[in-house]
Structure 1
């Protein structure tokens, strides 16, 4: 696996919308995120033709991604946001161009498609950091998110992940002009939850959003032979669509029946997002949803990977704050010390 070179102040960063041009619909958080990239990270942002255009075809979006990799003046690529149809974009990428011009790519959620594709091409990418959510957060960026993104952008070597004493999953109104000044609602939370934590596992990461992995499995898209995952660390998290515990179990069971789930030496699970505009759960409902999801994951692992080291409630998914995970890069999960270290 190749780690692309790191950024420096003044570098140009292409902002792409691989899953759809939501910046056209919600310009407030998008423009706020662009300002942060420029003012707080010292980077020059470059938009592609489809970045702010809803309805762009998969071919057009793929052309923008390929062009961003090919452009010698661009040093990194950041997704504006996720979506739900990036799986239709991946076949139209020019893999030879991407191989010849490896660059760090940042995104999560539906961008799991591109993260996994880059892994198949031998390029380390980064799970996390979309313009409209992490950079475009109302109020100030969360300090844990900001520190992780800064380290992933500009530094190499080990970075120890931080347990957050608070988290948020209540979404802000992106159409409210006062959005940029209002901090999101945060709640106290417990620390990471460990299972089979009597060992240390060090390996490359693979995974991402569980629902997208399930779609990729159905389409047989960027899924390797089971032996390719031996000794790796599976990272999984769920989205604002809030799949039921039953569905989470079934999706993992399918990975198990494919012969993949049992190959992982460790499984690191993102904190469950348990609120959306459609499901405005209160504290008790949130706690129940998260607990049932943990139980479903352990039930699947008991069948297919009973010896795996497991950590729950790590902040790398759809909740706030969000730490960046190198995708295909190294992660050390130290059970006795209760520490997780990644290599950026």
Structure 2
């Protein structure tokens, strides 16, 4: 396992657009996000596709891969963050300079469609990657939600800890607003985490956005899910019928026979099709009595605030004390 160096004030953070062109369709949010991280003392370095768009994507497959590789090969850049997700990050996987990442491990962070890159890089190099905030989508939000996302970013990436216990944010939101007309923080809900199980479960964290994983499943870029893993899964803007299909795919592939627990993230704007059922209800129906502990409602997902989760690191869920903690290291001094 490789771990990148911890970030420090003054370090360079490079940003890239592996799928959707957020710097083009959300310029105000993009500038707000960039200014926010700069105010924290970091130097932001633009990827080559900043301000560019090719319809639904930022550029061709080769252009997007080269944008990422340019940042990977720059020794002065210590963190690479996606601007947003989309649908097509998996197209970059055959063209990433994995050898350069092995020689110079750096923090790679994002979520949603960027799951393909996080898992692919981990599978090909052993480098711990981070399911966490994206530049425009996360750091373009207003206070106090953006501050809580940054606190998690700072806690996990700027200090070489050997142990970390997550704290549940008191409030959260998935309220949809028009980004370019947004002038204040979104309305919020009271938060809740659910721990369905007993005792302690320890294992390697693997997973991310479940819909995206379908685009790398069965390839060399999908890490093998092994006995004892903790499976992190979350999704966004899907209907209950699609979620049932995705959970059932895991079932028929035998994934639930191997993992020791499921970490189910919040589902942004879940469409229950009038059933009044939740993603947890669907998962329990698919499991059909199979005894797998579930930690439900974790805030490493499409909602705000967004907590950082290292992929490939050991963690412990204590269902009796209702706590979730990491067993390091995930960054080095």
Q: What residue is the counterpart of 2:185 in the other structure?
A: 183
CA spacing shift, 1:125–1:229, aligned 2, 3 Å: same
CA deviation digits over 1:50-69, x for unaligned, max 9?
A: 13311211111111111211
State the match for 2:52 in structure 1: 53
Distance 1:320 1:262 in 2: 32
Q: Distance in 2 between matches of 1:199 and 1:51?
A: 48
What residue number does 2:325 align with? 341
Deviation of 1:215 after TM superposition, in Å, equals 2.6
Which position in structure 2 is the counterpart of 1:282?
none
* Alignment match of 1:232 (pick from 224, 229, 232): 229
Residues 262-298 of structure 1, C-alpha deviations (whole Å, 9 max, x = no match) = 21111111112126xxx7xxxxx79966x43111112
- 1:22 match: 22
- Once structures 1 and 2 are overlaid, which stretch shifts more, 229-238 or 165-174? 165-174
Is the Cα contact below 8 Å between 2:139 and 2:146 reproduced in 1? no
Length, aligned pairs only: 322
Q: Which residue is 2:148 aligned to? A: 144
> Does the 8 Å CA contact 1:252/1:261 hold for their aligned counterparts?
no
Query: In the TM superposition, what are the counterparts of 1:315-330 in structure 2 within 5 Å?
Result: 315-330=299-314
What is the CA–CA distance in structure 1 between the aligned matches of 2:206 and 2:60, rounded to whole Å? 28
In the alignment, is the contact (CA less than 8 A) between 2:121 and 2:221 conserved in 1? no
CA distance in 2, matches of 1:118, 1:242: 26
TM-score, structure 2 normalization:
0.90
Deviation, 1:49, is 0.8
Contact map agreement 2:116 2:215 (CA 8 A) in 1? no
Does residue 134 of structure 1 match 2:138? yes
- Counterpart position of 2:196: 195
Q: Deviation at 1:143?
A: 4.2
CA shift, 1:322, in A, is 1.4
Aligned to 1:211: 211
Partner of 1:3: 3
Secondary structure, aligned partner of 1:69: helix
Contact 1:51 1:80 in 2 (8 A): no
Match for residue 124 of structure 1?
Answer: 128
Extract unaligned runs of 5+ from structure 1: 280-284
For normalisation by structure 1, the TM-score amounts to 0.87
Give the 3 Å change call, closer, same or farther, for CA 49–221 of structure 1 in structure 2.
same
Measured against aligned partners, the alpha-carbon deviations of 1:170-227 in whole angstroms (never above 9, x if no partner) come to 1232222xx3x411111224x211212x12112211111111112322x7352344xx
Residue of 71, 88, 110 corresponding to 1:107: 110
* SS of the residue 1:89 aligns to: helix
Give the SS at the match of 2:317. Answer: strand
Matching residue of 1:85: 88
The correspondence for 2:259, drawn from 255, 260, 264, is: 264
Q: In structure 2, how many angstroms separate the alpha carbons of the residues matched to 1:168 and 1:331?
A: 26
Q: Distance in 2 between matches of 1:49 and 1:156?
A: 31
Q: Is the 8 A contact 1:17 1:52 kept in 2?
A: no
SS of the residue 1:116 aligns to: helix
2:174 pairs with 1:172: no
Alignment CA distance shift 1:143-1:73 (3 Å)? closer
SS in structure 2 at match of 1:9 = coil
- In 2: Cα distance, 1:271 partner to 1:287 partner: 19
Task: Name the one with the larger helix percent.
Answer: 1
Using the alignment, how far apart are the partners of 2:274 and 2:62 within structure 1? 42
Instruction: Choose 255-264 or 116-125, whichever is displaced more.
Output: 255-264
Are 2:308 and 1:307 equivalent residues in the alignment? Answer: no
Q: Tell me the SS of whatever aligns to 1:216.
A: coil
Does the 8 Å CA contact 1:66/1:98 hold for their aligned counterparts? no
